[in-house]
Chain A
Amino acid sequence: MIPSLKAVVVTAAAAMLATPTAAFSQGTLQKVRDRGQLVCGVNTGIAGFSAPDDKGNWTGLDVDFCRSVAAAVLKDAGKVKFVPLTAKERFTALQSGEIDLLSRNTTWTMSRDTSAGMTFTGVLYYDGQGFMVKKDLKVAAAKELSGASVCVQTGTTTELNVADYFRRNGLDYKPVVFEKLPETIAAYNAGRCDVFTSDVSQLYGVRLTLGNSEEHVVLPDVISKEPLGPAVRQGDAQWANIVRWVLFAMINAEEAGISSKNVDQMLESTNPDILRLLGKEGEFGKGIGLDNDWALQALKQVGNYGEMFERNVGQGSRLKIGRGLNALWTEGGLQYAPPIR
């Protein structure tokens, strides 16, 4: 009697707690369609990439990419549930199926791509690690930092890079490692460290939150390659293709001059590249299991890569980060997408 009652309780509890998110064999695309919602893992708070605004809406480059994918798959950029993740949780969250897509300023590295159960689908933002110091220390280059105390956040490639950099150059340093970004910034600001190190894109954001921004400088040295990109679970080629090609479509659209504002006129274009991208010609949507207007929807609702960039981290934002490496290849940058044909 008692055991059976317990079994009933346990089963009921399990049913209440756990949301079965369908079997893996079903494929992520089908899962997202059935749910009518894309679940996207983002950063808990990083200016320009993913941060809640005053009303609690998520904004940022990583966040906008999630919206593009939702627009391409579900035809509605609003059908995204954002799950804020700490650096430590992000991989398990993806591996376990809690999220469909990890778009959380994550560096593409070989070990992550091969032995952490996930596949990177491209580079949304070419970043590199840099240093920020107080201006009155009169440091001009990173090589002068011997003996400095360095504030760094754990759970990132940052920690390893800084160790490698100082080792490579035969310099000493004193790491002060924090679990979360707020404490790291607060400690730097309180003078605990001479140097704050992180991806350069973050340094500009952090500098803004210091209040007395002009007292801090970001050094010109970039000590590492940090290609930040979206990642999906390993073993679902179709879903990886969708995420990959949504990103390529955003970049190709910028190259072809298609933006959210002129996308409707562009449908009348005679340029075959544009017609293929917008789904007027060919059956490219079918190849990734979507309708032919997949890229059209993403562009219309979210915009092309350049728009996303300028709005969130570029001149349209308070960060004012230049395009730099993230300019199109035609303009001296690295953003180069394979053609849609």
Chain B
Amino acid sequence: MGTDMGTTPTGRAHQPPPSPDAGVVAWARKHLFSSPFNTLATFAGLWIAWYLASAIVDWAVLRAVFTGEDGRACSKPGTGACWPFIAHKLDLFIYGRYPESEMWRVDLMFVLTAIGLAGVTIPDLPGRRWQVVYTFLILPVVGYVLLSGGVLGLPLVETERWGGLLVTLVVAIVGIVASFPIAILLALARRSDLPVVRWTAIGFIELVRGVPLITMLFMASVMLPLFLPSGVTVDKLMRALIGVAVFSGAYLAEVIRGGLQAIPRGQYEAADALGLTYWQKMRLIVLPQALTLVIPGIVNSSIALFKDTSLVLIIGLFDLLGIVQQSIASDAKWFSPSTPMTGYVFAGAIFWAFCFGMSRYSQALERRLSKGQRR
């Protein structure tokens, strides 16, 4: 624990200056050793922390292998992480089987997406309207053309060749963006005065929320082809996207409904009094307020969706986790006892970084919003 955490009152001339150590000691006595049980808990906690930290450093650095050309380098008993496995497979993990000469398209798309997301997520940037148009209308079209090609002289790259982090991000981002309109419609329908509309929405939302995503994906991959008229087929990645978007839409609808319920009745009545139609009322008065209220909830359901993307490996698409796992289990060249854990830790760290970033963002927003309300 750093000394900065002690409360050292400085700049008070009329009091005798306590030594900085006294502050730490006082703090520690209050927070760590206030009772025998507390003291015991402190030491037990410190021991656990030390144990975990040393185990991680030991595995990831001290006993790890950093160079090598294949799995034999990591085959010695007691080896920690097998980092050359990650280094050699990095392209595969990021781009999947995307052709090497076309990888710049994926890189460009990553950059464009990052710009779009930054624009939408950073508060108080000018030109909000254009950022929203860019992210929700222009970017999807540009992204589709850029990634799959087949027009404008870009060679066609079929979705069967996409994989790794690319697929993870495509499923997550398309899922989040596409679930938005679905969710708004469902949430409005669920609060509608029209019984048929309301019950349809309730039935749909509860049906989707009541079943595991896996069964939705099975349905999309095994049953959907039978639902369509003969001769009509849908790309496999697209089917997974539909399943994910519908699934996430039902969850998001409940989040948005929470926001709609939190808007005071007076707002609705005022809008009616102004003579606005239903859609004008929603678009201009209610939704802007409701959506702002539930932004943290929206980010949380995006986190859940991001983690759920890993399930597409079960229906034979190779997302980040899927491709890491495929490399672990079917590439004889890299087989070693330490390869599997290395791969899982690598995939886990990437997922964690994205999700943790999002959850920090959501917490920061929450603080910002509550500050705004306190004013």
Please say whether chains A and B are actual partners in one complex.
yes
| Distance, CA A49 to CA B228, complexed state (A) | 31
Assess whether A170 is interfacial by the CB under 8 Å rule: no
Q: Does A21 contact B (CB under 8 A)?
A: yes
What is the chain A residue whose CB lies nearest that of B96? A56
* Chain B residue at minimal CB-CB distance from A56: B97
Residues in A82-130 with C-beta less than 8 Å from chain B: 82-86, 88-89, 92-93, 95-98
Contact with A along B214-248 (1 / 0, CB 8 A): 00001001110110101111111010001000000
Query: Chain A residues near B336 (CB, 8 Å)?
Result: 211
Name the one of B233, B325, B326, B329 contacting A96, with C-beta atoms under 8 angstroms: B233
Is the CB of B75 closer than 8 A to any CB of chain A? yes
* Residues A93 and B225 in contact, CB atoms below 8 Å apart: yes
The closest CB in chain A to the CB of B71 belongs to A211
Cα separation A93 to B96 with both chains bound (whole Å): 23
On whether A19 and B222 interact (CB within 8 A), knowing A84-B160, A186-B340, A209-B332, the answer reads no
A92 contacts B222, CB within 8 Å? yes
State the CA gap A204–B196 with chains docked (Å).
Answer: 60
- The complex places the Cα of A92 from the Cα of B330 at a distance, in Å, of 26
Flag if A81 contacts B160 (CB, 8 Å).
Answer: yes
A233 CB → nearest B CB, Å: 10
B180-235 with Cβ < 8 A to chain A: 218, 221-223, 225-226, 228, 230-235
Which of A136-144, A176-184, A265-273, A298-306 is the interface stretch? Answer: A176-184
Query: A2 is contacted by which of B222, B279, B332 (Cβ under 8 Å)?
Result: B279
A181 with B330, Cβ < 8 A, contacts A56-B97, A211-B335 known: yes
Bound CA span A2–B327, Å? 50
**Residues from chain B with Cβ under 8 Å of A81 in the complex:** 158, 160
What residues of A have a CB within 8 angstroms of the CB of B4 in the complex? none
Cβ-closest chain A residue relative to B100: A55
Q: Are A211 and B160 in contact (CB under 8 A)?
A: no
- Say whether A59 faces chain B, with CB atoms less than 8 Å apart: no
0/1 string, B94-114, CB within 8 A of A gives 1:
001111100000000000000
Q: Please, what's the 1-or-0 string for B151-162, where 1 marks a CB less than 8 Å from any CB in chain A?
A: 000000010110
Q: How close is A104's CB to chain B, nearest CB, in angstroms? A: 11
Q: Which of B235, B315, B335 has the most CB of A within 10 A?
A: B335
| A186 contact set on B, CB distance < 8 A | 328-329, 340
> In the docked arrangement, what's the CA distance between A130 and B238, Å?
38
Could you tell me the distance in whole angstroms from the C-beta of B239 to the nearest C-beta in chain A?
A: 9
With A55-B100, A96-B228 known as contacts, the answer to whether A209 contacts B331 (CB < 8 A) is yes
Q: Give chain A residues whose Cβ lies under 8 Å from the Cβ of B232.
A: 18-21, 97
Q: How far is the CA of A21 from the CA of B235 in the complex (A)?
A: 12
Q: Is the CB of A24 within 8 A of B230?
A: yes
Cβ–Cβ contact A45 & B326, under 8 A: yes
A19 contacts B340, C-beta separation under 8 Å: no
Q: Is the CB of B315 within 8 A of A86?
A: yes
B78 touches A (CB below 8 Å): no
Q: How far is the CA of A125 from the CA of B290 in the complex (A)?
A: 62
Contact check, A82 vs B160: say whether CB atoms are below 8 A apart: yes
- CB atoms of A182 and B230 under 8 A apart: no
Chain B stretch 235-268: residues in CB contact (< 8 A) with chain A:
235-236, 238, 242
Q: Shortest beta-carbon distance, B216 to chain A, in Å?
A: 15
Alpha-carbon distance A182/B332, docked complex (angstroms):
12
Q: Does B314 contact A (CB under 8 A)?
A: yes
| CB of B165 to closest CB in A, whole Å | 16
B316 interface residue (CB < 8 Å to A): yes
Residue of A nearest to B336 (CB): A211
Chain A residues positioned under 8 Å from B328 (CB to CB): 182, 186
Residue numbers in A under 8 Å from B330 (CB-CB): 45, 47, 51, 181-182, 185, 209
Cβ of A44 within 8 Å of any chain B Cβ, yes or no, is yes
Contact between chains at B221 and A97 (CB < 8 Å): no
- Return A119 CB to nearest CB of chain B, in Å: 17
Residues of B281-327 at the interface with A, using a CB-CB cut-off of 8 Å, are 313-316, 325-326
Complex formed: what's the CA distance from A24 to B315 in Å? Answer: 26
Give A45-68 interface residues, CB cut-off 8 Å to B: 45, 47, 51-52, 55-56
Chain B residue at minimal CB-CB distance from A98: B233
A24-B335 CB under 8 A given contacts A56-B97, A89-B221, A182-B329: no
Please, how many angstroms separate the alpha-carbon atoms of A183 and B314 in the complex? 11
Once bound together, how far apart are the Cα atoms of A98 and B183, in whole Å? 30
Cα separation A161 to B12 with both chains bound (whole Å): 85
* Residue pair B225, A98 in contact (C-beta under 8 Å): yes
Minimum CB–CB distance from B333 to chain A (whole Å) comes to 9
Q: A56-B161, A88-B222, A96-B226 are in contact. Are A19 and B234 (CB under 8 A)?
A: yes
Most buried by A among B161, B225, B236, B340: B225
CA distance in complex: A257, B206 (Å): 65
Residue of A nearest to B72 (CB): A211
- The answer, yes or no, to whether A12 is at the interface (CB within 8 Å) is no
What is the distance, in angstroms, from B145's C-beta to the closest C-beta of chain A?
A: 13
**Chain A residue with the shortest CB-CB distance to B335:** A211
Residues on B with beta carbons closer than 8 Å to the beta carbon of A183: 325, 329
Query: Which residues of chain A are within 8 angstroms of B315 by Cβ–Cβ distance?
Result: 86, 88-89
Q: Is the beta-carbon distance between A19 and B233 smaller than 8 angstroms?
A: yes
* Residues in B whose Cβ lies below 8 Å from that of A45: 326, 330
A279 and B172 CA atoms in complex are apart in Å by 53
- Given contacts A21-B231, A23-B230, A186-B340, whether A92 and B225 have CB atoms under 8 Å apart is yes
Interface digits, B128-164 against A, CB 8 Å rule (1 contact, 0 not)?
Answer: 0000000000000000000000000000001011000
Residue A160 is within 8 A (CB to CB) of chain B in the complex: no
Instruction: Return chain B residues, CB-CB under 8 Å to A211.
Output: 71, 75, 332, 335-336
Q: Report the separation of the CA atoms of residues A82 and B340 in the bound assembly, to the nearest whole angstrom.
A: 28
Could you jot down 18 A-B contacts, CB within 8 Å?
A17-B242, A19-B232, A21-B233, A44-B316, A86-B221, A88-B218, A89-B315, A96-B225, A96-B226, A96-B230, A179-B314, A180-B313, A180-B314, A181-B330, A186-B328, A186-B329, A210-B335, A318-B332
On A, residues with C-beta under 8 Å from B are: 2, 17-24, 44-45, 47, 51-52, 55-56, 81-86, 88-89, 92-93, 95-98, 179-183, 185-186, 208-211, 318
What is B's interface to A at a CB cutoff of 8 Å?
71, 75, 96-100, 158, 160-161, 218, 221-223, 225-226, 228, 230-236, 238, 242, 279, 313-316, 325-326, 328-332, 335-336, 340
Q: Which 8 A-B pairs have the closest CB atoms?
A: A182-B329, A96-B225, A56-B97, A211-B335, A86-B316, A98-B233, A209-B332, A208-B332
